[in-house]
């Protein structure tokens, strides 16, 4: 039996959009907590996920991808990510291993600016090179060299979040960096997010996956009603999809209501897995004009409350 002290702390996941932060969090937890899609800027809030090990408890904080803020919603997302850099014990900076002609050995302007912020925090920073399954190892080495010259990382760890490659080594390194202390959450806890929040996120994920063009970026989801029926064990959920314009409302509903129905079916499946219960999900669509550009509307729809 080990006499090593127990460790517990927070690790913030940061990086550009679509580098795999949410996928990594879900992989680490072994369960879907953070929504994912192939489209950038899917994550909009801080998403905490708790991993409890025999030697440590690590509270991961998934954050929105860092990008240029053009609307109030985008500024909210950038603020969430940058504020999380300070309220943490360590930072895991995720970058994406390029592939073929898209391989970028150089460091982007966004990441360069982020590294400057990280220097000021004094936190240990772990560079996580994700999606290494797409590259032969000789092509990963120049990426490692470029970042080693740019910053004094606590460690540089290549991983594949989708395939699990290198994840155990990453967790060992992060656990060792956590401060000594007792666990903050029960052993079986995965997150402290309310079920309503997760339900709204699961519906929003389906909007990103089902809808084309720019419509998903103008949608938000709120849960208006949640009823747990003790006699049947069923959960009844009513959720509203908010859009900015009437034309977007028609796209979300689809011809004969088929798009909204498809979104509802896909979301219900995820909700039933999460709740381990039958779910009756009713979706409505409401126009909230210009909500992505209004700070007041953002707060009304739940952004800025974390």
Q: Are 259 and 212 in contact (CB under 8 A)?
A: no
| pLDDT exceeds cutoff 80 at 243 | yes
Give the pLDDT confidence score for residue 101 in this predicted structure: 38
Q: Which residues contact 84 (CB under 8 A, 6 or more apart)?
A: 12, 14, 46, 61, 63
Cα angle vertex 23, ends 284, 262, to 5°? 25
Question: d(Cα 47, Cα 192) in Å, to the nearest integer?
Answer: 9
Q: Is the pLDDT of residue 41 over 90?
A: no
Q: Specify the pLDDT at position 305.
A: 55
Residues pairing with 119 in the sheet:
none
| pLDDT confidence bin for 18, thresholds 50/70/90 | confident
| Residue 258: DSSP 8-state | H
Residues of the chain above pLDDT 90, percent: 67
Domains by residue range for the chain, with CATH: 7-177 (3.40.50.300), 195-300 (3.30.300.20)
Query: How far apart (Å, rounded) are the C-alpha atoms in residues 49 and 292?
Result: 27
Maximum pairwise Cα distance, the chain: 64
pTM for this prediction: 0.89
Segment 179-232, tens digit of pLDDT: 999 999 999 999 999 999 999 999 999 999 999 778 999 999 999 999 999 888
First to last CA, the chain: 40
For residue 102, what pLDDT is reported?
40
In sequence order, which ranges of the chain are alpha helices (DSSP H)? 21-29, 72-83, 109-121, 137-150, 167-177, 195-210, 246-253, 258-275, 295-300
Looking at every residue in the chain, the average pLDDT score rounds to 91
Look at 107 and 209; give whichever has higher pLDDT. Answer: 209
Q: Is 150 exposed, middle or buried (0-12, 13-18, 19+ CB in 10 A)?
A: middle
**CA dist 305 → 25, 44, 130, 237 (Å):** 22, 12, 30, 22
Query: Confidence class of residue 2 from pLDDT cuts 50, 70 and 90?
Result: low
The number of residues in the chain equals 306
pLDDT in tens, 70-101: 789 888 888 888 888 889 999 999 998 864 43
Nearest to 219 by CA among 62, 26, 8, 37: 37
- pLDDT for 270-303, tens place per residue? 999 999 999 999 999 999 999 999 999 999 998 8
Give the gyration radius of the chain's Cα atoms. 20
Backbone angles phi, psi at 47, to 5 degrees: -120, 105
Q: Are residues 187 and 52 in contact, defined by beta-carbon separation less than 8 angstroms?
A: yes
Q: Which residue has the higher pLDDT, 173 or 138?
A: 173
- Residue corresponding to tokens 């798009």: 259
Predicted confidence at residue 81, as pLDDT, reads 85
Q: How confident is the model at residue 106, as a pLDDT?
A: 63
Give the C-alpha separation, 61 to 251, whole Å.
33
> Residue 126 in 3-state DSSP?
strand
More confident call, 17 vs 288 = 288
63: closest CA among 117, 20, 119, 126? 20
List residues bridging with 242 in a β-sheet: 220, 286
Mean pLDDT of 131-148: 88
Cα distance between residue 128 and residue 137, in whole Å: 15
Residue 62 is predicted with a pLDDT of 92
């Amino acid at each position: 039996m080990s006499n090593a002290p127990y460790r517990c702390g927070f690790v913030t996941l940061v990086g550009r959009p679509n580098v795999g932060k949410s996928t990594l969090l879900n992989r680490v937890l072994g369960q879907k907590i953070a929504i994912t899609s192939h489209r950038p800027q899917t994550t909009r809030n801080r998403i905490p996920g708790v991993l409890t090990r025999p030697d440590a408890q690590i509270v991961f904080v998934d954050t929105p991808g860092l990008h240029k803020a053009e609307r109030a919603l985008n500024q909210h997302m950038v603020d969430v990510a940058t504020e999380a850099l300070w309220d943490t014990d360590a930072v895991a900076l995720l970058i994406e291993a390029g592939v073929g002609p898209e391989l970028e050995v150089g460091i982007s302007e966004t990441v360069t600016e982020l590294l400057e912020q990280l220097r000021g925090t004094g936190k240990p920073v772990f560079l996580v090179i994700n999606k290494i399954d797409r590259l032969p190892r000789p092509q990963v080495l120049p990426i490692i060299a470029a970042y080693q010259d740019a910053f004094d990382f606590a460690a540089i760890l290549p991983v594949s979040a989708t395939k699990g490659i290198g994840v155990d080594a990453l967790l060992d390194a992060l656990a060792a960096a956590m401060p000594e202390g007792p666990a903050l959450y029960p052993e079986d806890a995965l997150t402290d997010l309310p079920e309503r929040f997760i339900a709204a996120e699961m519906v929003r994920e389906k909007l990103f996956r089902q809808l084309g063009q720019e419509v998903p970026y103008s949608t938000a989801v709120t849960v208006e009603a949640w009823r747990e029926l003790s006699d049947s064990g069923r959960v009844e959920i009513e959720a509203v999809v908010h859009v900015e314009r009437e034309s977007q409302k028609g796209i979300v509903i689809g011809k004969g209501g088929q798009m909204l129905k498809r979104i509802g079916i896909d979301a219900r499946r995820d909700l039933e897995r999460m709740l381990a219960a039958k779910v009756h999900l009713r979706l409505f669509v409401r126009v909230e004009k210009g909500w992505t550009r209004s700070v007041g509307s953002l707060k009304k729809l739940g952004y800025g409350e974390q």
